[in-house]
Amino acid sequence: MQLAGECRCGAVTYHSTTPLQSAVYACHCQHCQAWSGSSFALHALLPEDAFTLNGPMVEYQYEQMGQQSRHYLCAACHTRIYNTTSAAPGLWVLRAGTLHERAALQPVAHIWVRHKQPWLALPAGIPAWEESPTAEAFAAALSGHRS
């Protein structure tokens, strides 16, 4: 499936250059709660070289616990489109809410659920981790396999 999306104001657009499958996960960490202004954030891990992006962007970067993170936002409306992290080289952490087809998205995994809001009930049978899972367990969950 071709993936496409844009920021809130439409100044930044993106589309995949090849058909891609997107497995969306929910991150309940306190950073994602603060960044999104919500109880969790929806992300999709996708190859960075699989997209064409157009429009004015600004970059925000920081280092935390030895990991370098770079966030890319629309320069006009400041919608965060994606970030990269040294923990997952070669991948975009795409903000799934910027996808055009976002209404059909359902998380296949939940991470950092120790910070999940107490009123939020997670669906049974979906992989969930108190913090970050191992790379192998996370890859298996995103590919549709349980571990």
Give the confidence band of 2 by pLDDT, cuts at 50, 70, 90.
confident
Pair type for strands 109-111 and 24-27: parallel
Mean of pLDDT values over 53-68: 90
pTM: 0.81
Other CB atoms within 10 A of residue 137 CB: 16
Strands (E), the chain: 4-6, 13-16, 24-27, 41-47, 51-54, 57-64, 67-74, 80-85, 91-95, 109-111
Res. 145: pLDDT tops 70: no
Other CB atoms within 10 A of residue 19 CB: 9
Res. 90: pLDDT tops 70: yes
Give the confidence band of 61 by pLDDT, cuts at 50, 70, 90.
very high
Res. 147: pLDDT tops 70: no
Backbone angles phi, psi at 141, to 5 degrees: -65, -45
3-state secondary structure of 120: coil
Positive or negative torsion for Cα 64, 65, 68, 69: negative
Q: What is the pLDDT of residue 146?
A: 45
List the chain domain ranges: 4-142
Does domain 4-142 fall under CATH 3.30.420.250? My reply is: no
The chain-wide mean pLDDT, for the chain, equals 87
pLDDT digits (tens, 9 = 90+) for 115-136: 999 999 999 999 999 988 888 8
Q: What is the pLDDT of residue 76?
A: 97
Res. 105: pLDDT tops 90: no
Give the confidence band of 65 by pLDDT, cuts at 50, 70, 90.
confident
Mean of pLDDT values over 98-107: 86
CA separation, residue 14 to residues 23, 38, 54, 100 (Å)? 18, 24, 6, 10
